[in-house]
Structure 1
């Protein structure tokens, strides 16, 4: 009697991965930022990617927009409240094939203690071998949220009308996943 092989472990390669966001500033410009620290628990079903599961934890205090005062404001209670809510988390609830190498990934996104379902469009590329002989897969995902749905309501009115910070936040993530021995 033979047993099924154990599922292979996978890990994010942080040197080749990113989580970024973009939001309108003063109605007309776009401000971009990134989170520099994140990790994931991955349960990848190589035979059927739709049966895979993941939880991504993003360190709220790692937010960077290349402007220290704005970064500190984003870490404050006005936005992420990183001291009391150190992580933003995304846990998959469904992965649906959407064409060759394309998927719709739905999951629960938690920011500041508020959890909402969010769906991302994703592409999976690979597998391929890296220069060190490891098997790698790339996952690119994008979507958008309304920041107010997560309690991120701080804003300031503009003299000419409109608001300093837009409500819609575009999110993109690129992960290089490395199969562990």
Structure 2
């Protein structure tokens, strides 16, 4: 007896804070229940046979309403209710998406002298995203010009371009090619891929957040993403390690990578 329902996101994740309300045909509320940690409602109180309206709400999601028919035994099985994120945070449509460097950033942070951080970015890069009908089969390809490193200090940038670090003369490009995409939570994904840097290729995962899709002023459609990763310099044969005093290196061995990406739907960028 009672009501049975499952509340999920479009990606199949439980919406754990959803509330299910049932009204009869006069508009009177006959049941209100919160879902459990699995996004399920199991309300055992019998309902009056006949047609009812089921409304599912959750903060951050557009409400969903449907009609449920209660059987003579007082039971209604609504099945799975899919809630769409508010603010346009639906997955981008399948197809090709082109990275827009003018509205994207590729940054990295390294520890300096053990007490502060040095922030850098690459200013020259291109890339494309292929969104598949099965999102987990989507692909990402990106190419970065190693010589475009910019930390705001010309002397430091010159050192980073030298053989001690990026060695841009011998390895002018940094490339990333994904090998798989796995859901990690609502609007979050783990992108598995291979990063080629300084002549060495390593498997690197990106922690990706999808921020939404919407129109731009030039008649196009854009999707926004934020991604992070952590790299160890020694994994890419960049072993320069000047020691300024016992136990403290001038530059840390770990790099934190942070990407803010806008991608435009289609094979090319709009003329602006």
TM-score (norm 2): 0.62
How many residue pairs were aligned? Answer: 174
* Residue in structure 2 matched with residue 28 of structure 1 by the alignment: 115
Judged with a 3 Å threshold, the aligned counterparts in structure 2 of structure 1 residues 41 and 136 are, in CA distance, closer, same or farther, namely: closer
**1:65-80 equivalences in 2 (<5 Å):** 65-80=151-166
Q: Secondary structure at the match of 2:163?
A: coil
The runs of 4+ residues in structure 1 deviating greater than 3 Å are none
2:99 is the counterpart of 1:12: yes
Mapped partners of 2:183, 2:245: distance in 1: 47
Q: Which deviates further from its counterpart, 127-136 or 170-179? A: 127-136
Unaligned runs of 5+ in 2: 1-93, 268-272
Pick from 205, 230, 237: which aligns with 1:144? Answer: 230
* Alignment check: 8 A CA contact 2:99 2:128 kept: no
Mapped partners of 1:117, 1:110: distance in 2: 9
2:213 is the counterpart of 1:127: yes
* Residue in structure 1 matched with residue 143 of structure 2 by the alignment: 57
Mapped partners of 1:139, 1:147: distance in 2: 25
Mapped partners of 2:116, 2:234: distance in 1: 19
CA drift of 1:39 comes to 0.6
Pick from 41, 57, 76: which aligns with 2:128? Answer: 41
TM-score (norm 1): 0.91
Mapped partners of 1:49, 1:178: distance in 2: 17
Higher relative contact order structure (alpha carbons within 8 Å, sequence separation ≥ 6):
1
2:177 is the counterpart of 1:91: yes
The Cα offsets for residues 15-62 of structure 1, whole Å up to 9 and x where unpaired, read as 1101000000111110000000001133222x3322111111110000
Mapped partners of 2:95, 2:203: distance in 1: 28
* Residue in structure 2 matched with residue 180 of structure 1 by the alignment: 266
* Residue in structure 2 matched with residue 169 of structure 1 by the alignment: 255
The Cα offsets for residues 82-105 of structure 1, whole Å up to 9 and x where unpaired, read as 011001111101110111110001
Larger-Rg structure: 2
Unaligned runs of 5+ in 1: 1-6
CA drift of 1:63 comes to 0.2
CA RMSD of aligned residues (A): 1.4
